[in-house]
Amino acid sequence: MSSKSINLTLKVWRQPGSKAAGRLETYQADNIPTDASFLEMLDIVNQRLTLAGKEPIAFDHDCREGICGMCGTVVNGRPHGPERETTLCQLHMRHFKDGDTVVIEPYRARAFPVIKDLVMDRSALDQIIMAGGFISVNTGQAAEANSLPVPKDKADLAMDAAACIGCGACIAACPNASAMLFTSAKISQFALLPQGRPEAAKRALAMVACMDGLGFGNCTNHKECEMECPKGISISNIARLNREFIKAALVSQEK
**pLDDT tens track for 63-80:** 999 999 999 899 999 999
Average pLDDT over residues 177-190: 97
As a whole number, mean pLDDT of residues 40-65 equals 97
- Mean of pLDDT values over 78-86: 96
Give the residue-averaged pLDDT of 37-57.
Answer: 98
- Determine the average pLDDT of the residues in 175-202: 96
Q: Which residue has the higher pLDDT, 143 or 90?
A: 90
- pLDDT of 138 reads 77
Q: How does residue 1 score in pLDDT terms, banded at 50, 70 and 90?
A: very low
CA-CA-CA-CA torsion sign (22, 24, 27, 33): positive
Rounded CA separation 127/58 (Å): 24
User: What's the confidence (pLDDT) of residue 255?
Assistant: 60
User: Which H or E run includes 161?
Assistant: helix 152-162
User: What confidence score (pLDDT) does residue 80 get?
Assistant: 97
What does the pLDDT look like over 192-248, one tens digit per residue? 999 899 999 999 999 999 999 999 999 999 999 999 999 999 999 999 999 999 999
**Rounded Cα distance, 103 and 215, in Å:** 27
pLDDT range class, residue 91, cuts 50, 70, 90: very high
pLDDT at 252: 75
What is the per-residue pLDDT for 33? 97
> What is residue 215's predicted lDDT score, i.e. its pLDDT?
93
Contacts of 144 (CB under 8 A, 6+ apart): none
What CATH topology corresponds to 122-134+150-254?
Fumarate Reductase Iron-sulfur Protein; Chain B, domain 2 (1.10.1060)
**Mean pLDDT throughout 170-184?**
97
Q: What is the pLDDT of residue 197?
A: 93
If you average pLDDT over residues 146-162, what whole number do you get?
A: 92
Percent of the chain at pLDDT exceeding 90: 89
The CATH label, of 3.10.20.30, 1.20.1070.10, 1.20.1440.230, 2.30.30.830, for the domain at 5-115 is 3.10.20.30
Q: Domain residues of the chain, as ranges?
A: 5-115, 122-134+150-254
pLDDT surpasses 60 at 2: no
Note the pLDDT tens digit of each residue in 113-132. Answer: 999 999 999 999 999 999 99
Contacts within 8 Å (CB) and 24+ apart, 131-136 = 131/206, 131/207, 131/209, 131/210, 132/199, 132/202, 132/203, 132/204, 132/205, 132/206, 132/207, 132/210, 133/186, 133/187, 133/190, 133/203, 133/207, 135/190, 135/195, 135/196, 135/199, 136/199
**Given pLDDT bands bounded at 50, 70 and 90, which one contains residue 254?**
low
Report pTM.
Answer: 0.93
